[in-house]
Structure 1
Amino acid sequence: MLPPEAWLEHLRVERRASPRTLQAYADALARLRTLASADGIELAAVQPHHVRGWVARLHRQGLAPRSLALQLSAWRGLYRWWGQAGAVALNPVDGVRAPKAGRPLPKALSVDHAVALADEVPQADDPALAARDHCVVELLYGCGLRVGELVSLDIGPSATAAGWVDVADATAHVLGKGGKRRSVPVGRAALQALRAWLAQRATLAASGEPALFVGRRGARLGASQVRSRLKALALQAGLPTHVHPHMLRHSFASHLLQSSGDLRAVQELLGHASIATTQVYTRLDFQHLAKVYDAAHPRARRK
């Protein structure tokens, strides 16, 4: 029977697995050996009930569901390889699944923090850059755009434009995930910031550049630049948490749902294909209501 190291070599040479994958699988196989040895079981004699017991044991010891899934993937691959070589009659890992990982809640700013960030005047050595950064924040929070949708906006419609903002109609037309187009209303504050930026854009934009947002060199602004500027602005505003563009999208959805309770409308504005994706924001909304209850209701107060 070939040792597990031979399978790792097979992955390295024939499958061209990355060093990181090889190391993760080597660690998983070492753990498998330790578990089997502790129970006095040869690797070739492992049965499905052994694997289930080990997964439960590792879970009790604090191994996260994703880490458990990686362990099982490595073990399953080893036994599949042994099975193809005729070394084992069955794959004891087939049908064994890791515990389902809980879906983390999206991180959203409080209403006060989001408004404080949007009201903050960006510090920049060029007034045009300050106007641009302010407009970026207003569109991210006011329209719930993804950062990719934001940086893809052009100053107007064209055959090649992925998206644009119709100032006269106060509507942003964007190209979202899966090539789906949607239109999002642009609020008063975002529209005011957009007009202020458009009045300054010509001082930065290169000749013929169609992008709505440009950098110092006049070319289209990149997503990484948006993240960097947003991080700096959050620090300037004194926010107690790191802020990234998608957090403003989460904030847009959460705050809109808190005010309206219209899940379908929020789904349309975010461009979610499934209502299930949008429903996660109802959990954020419930958390908000729970905090209000804990703070305000006499029966919630505890001595």
Structure 2
Amino acid sequence: MDMVERYLEHVRVEKRLAARTVELYSLDLQKLCEFADKAGVELTRVQNAHVRRWVAQMHSGGRSGRGIALVLSGWRGFYTWLGKQGLIDSNPVQDVRAPKAGKPLPKALSVDDSVQLATYANEDADPWLEARDAAIVELLYGCGLRVGELVGLDAVASKAARGWVDLQAAEAHVLGKGSKRRTVPVGSKALEALTHWIALRGQGGHPAQPALFTGRHGTRLTAQAVWQRLKRRSQLAGLATPVHPHMLRHSFASHVLQSSGDLRAVQELLGHANITTTQVYTRLDFQHLAKAYDAAHPRAHRKAK
């Protein structure tokens, strides 16, 4: 029995790891053996430089940082065991780290999907709930609010209010991260939805509740409740992807940037303290442009021979 098989037997019997985990370790060590064979080096003579070179090869071959980190974890455990067996003096994987995984882009809806969700109306729903949920969608997408900012809104401005909407001025005053206040414009469609909701809001039977958005029991709507209602509404509207509140914030930012190209304005609207946080939307905007180019430009693709 060679050392790899002995190690796998060790993790299976002595460490009692799950069969799937042992299988993954086996695949990782098979990859290690392939690298070592190509380099003409025995497993017990692998050096730190070898491992770093192999990490670079996996990365250039398209392996994700997370995937490489898992492979290294399997290799590191194997060489730790070899050390305990007295077969090596040092662990060649000990100080090797996987490349940092790129920060994933925030998910944003297309303009068509955003409009489809915003214009959706459930005629069979409770009119009170329908008016409330429609106003929530319009504020999230039309103003780019965080869900915490949305549920913190009160129906009337006061010194104690975390935030409120001024219908006459067409402005929303919100309390964002770091207790920073900002004012964002409210579009005409959002104003219509809010006006309709406020007219029905008192029918909930809890007029003393200051919250702009409440549940049927008169308590302030929670962020979790908004997530659930929005997910359900997006499914009823026929969208392929379940929508969450932050996705509408991302969509707002991406669509404003596509139309205006004004990164500083988007920063102010979102309430970002640092513009580097807002710059992620330039990547989304570039993706949008790249897709349009691929679809429309006659030189985007080579003709098939």
1:168–1:65 Cα change, 3 Å: same
Q: Distance in 1 between matches of 2:258 and 2:68?
A: 36
Determine if contact 1:65/1:101 at 8 Å carries over to the other structure: yes
Say if 1:290 and 1:219 are closer, same or farther in 2 by CA, change over 3 A: same
SS of structure 2 residue aligned to 1:114: helix
Change (3 A) 1:259 1:25: same
Q: Per-residue deviation at 1:193? A: 0.7
Residue 85 of structure 1 corresponds to none
Whether 1:182 and 2:182 are equivalent positions in the alignment is yes
Q: 1:201 to 1:240 in 2, by over 3 A?
A: same
> Aligned partners of 2:49, 2:175: CA distance in 1, in Å?
49
Partner in structure 2 of residue 135 of structure 1 = 135
Q: Determine the structure 1 residue equivalent to 2:164.
A: 164
Instruction: Identify if the C-alpha distance between structure 1 residues 292 and 28 changes in structure 2 by more than 3 Å, giving closer, same or farther.
Output: closer
Match of 1:121 in 2: 121
Q: Report the counterpart of residue 290 of structure 1 in structure 2.
A: 290
Aligned length: 287
Please give the residue correspondences for 1:1-303 in structure 2 after superposition, counting only pairs within 5 Å.
40-42=42-44, 47-56=47-56, 59=59, 63-69=63-69, 92-93=92-93, 96-123=96-123, 125-204=125-204, 206=206, 208-300=208-300
The amino acid that maps onto 2:178 is: G
**Does the aligned pair in 1 maintain the 2:32–2:75 contact within 8 Å?**
no
Q: How far off its partner does 1:167 sit?
A: 2.1
| Long gaps (5+) in structure 1 | 10-18, 81-87
TM-score, length-normalised on structure 2?
A: 0.75
Q: Secondary structure at the match of 2:203?
A: coil
> 285-294 vs 90-99, which deviates more?
90-99
Q: Pick closer, same or farther for the CA change 1:250–1:24 going to 2, 3 Å.
A: farther
Partner SS state of residue 169, structure 2: coil
TM-score for the superposition, normalised by structure 1 = 0.75
Q: Report percent identity of matched pairs.
A: 60
Partner letter of residue 281 of structure 1? Answer: Y
Q: Which moved more, 1:56-65 or 1:267-276?
A: 56-65
CA–CA distance in structure 1, aligned partners of residues 140 and 236 of structure 2: 18
Maintained 8 Å contact 2:151/2:223: yes
| Superposed displacement of residue 230, structure 1 | 1.7
CA RMSD, Structure 1 to Structure 2 (Å): 3.9
**Can you list the C-alpha shifts for 1:272-294, whole angstroms capped at 9, x where unaligned?**
22212212212222222233334
The answer to which of 109-118 and 160-169 deviates more is 160-169
Q: 1:48 to 1:178 in 2, by over 3 A?
A: farther
The runs of at least 4 consecutive aligned structure 1 residues that moved more than 6 Å come to: 22-38, 73-80, 88-91
Query: Is 111-120 or 68-77 further displaced after alignment?
Result: 68-77
The answer to whether the Cα contact below 8 Å between 1:254 and 1:281 also exists between their aligned partners in 2 is yes
CA distance in 2, matches of 1:262, 1:25: 49
SS at match of 1:202: helix
